Structure 1
Amino acid sequence: MSLNLKLEFSGGAELLVNKVKNHDITLPISSKLWTLRGLLDWIKDNLLAERPELFIQGGSVRPGILVLVNDADWELLGELEYELQDNDHIVFISTLHGG
């Protein structure tokens, strides 16, 4: 059994994952529940192509990256402690723009 998720990166965040906006991933079911904290570690190890410090800072997403879970702000869901559910749609939107 596994956990299927749809990840989306936009607003420039897709540049950190080889310019691919949408990722359908499957996480193995383990004895502990998957949380957003665990997902960030998985993203760091499996998706980030370069410069992980532009996405992850201090064990969380870098300030300036908005995280939505099924169209809801993750702050309403417990942020890093949110327990992932099968078929969750998680969006990472960078609000930082160079100029």
Structure 2
Amino acid sequence: MSGLTVTLQFSGGAELLFDKVKKREVELPALEKFLPQINKTDWSLRELLVWIKDNLLRERPELFLQGDSVRPGILVLINDSDWELYGELDYKIHNGDTIMFISTLHGG
């Protein structure tokens, strides 16, 4: 599948890790071209996080990612609903989805 377009939103401070850009529409390449070593054609949030790390994340990845998931304290919403309702990392991304990452971590 190619031509998968999603909207990514970053807020609560997460946008600081992405050149202070809060919202962007991205077109994801065919998954088999981006990660040829996996035998899948459908994008999931697991693969999206790898793509975000490789293509958008500009600094301090440890503040956004932990292992193969988002760091605790980062809320993930898929089309305005908690990703836990959709299977978290295994959610199959659909064309037109809006995926929001909200940091609840605040320094003092």
What's the TM-score, normalizing by structure 2?
Answer: 0.89
Q: Which amino acid aligns with 1:34?
A: W
Q: How far has the Cα of 1:30 moved from its partner?
A: 3.6
Q: Work out the number of aligned pairs and report it.
A: 99
1:49 and 2:50 correspond? no
CA RMSD of aligned residues (A): 0.9
Q: How far has the Cα of 1:29 moved from its partner?
A: 2.7
Q: Which has the higher strand share?
A: 1
Pick aligned residue for 1:77 from 86, 90, 99: 86
**Who is 2:7 aligned against?**
6
5+ residue gaps, structure 1: none
Out of 25-34 and 83-92, give the one that drifted further. 25-34
| In structure 2, C-alpha distance between the alignment counterparts of 1:29 and 1:47, rounded to whole Å | 17
**Who is 2:103 aligned against?**
94
Larger Cα Rg: Structure 1 or Structure 2? 2
| In structure 2, C-alpha distance between the alignment counterparts of 1:23 and 1:46, rounded to whole Å | 12
What's the TM-score, normalizing by structure 1?
Answer: 0.96
Identity over aligned pairs, percent: 65
Pick aligned residue for 1:58 from 64, 67, 70: 67
5+ residue gaps, structure 2: 33-40
Q: How far has the Cα of 1:28 moved from its partner?
A: 1.7
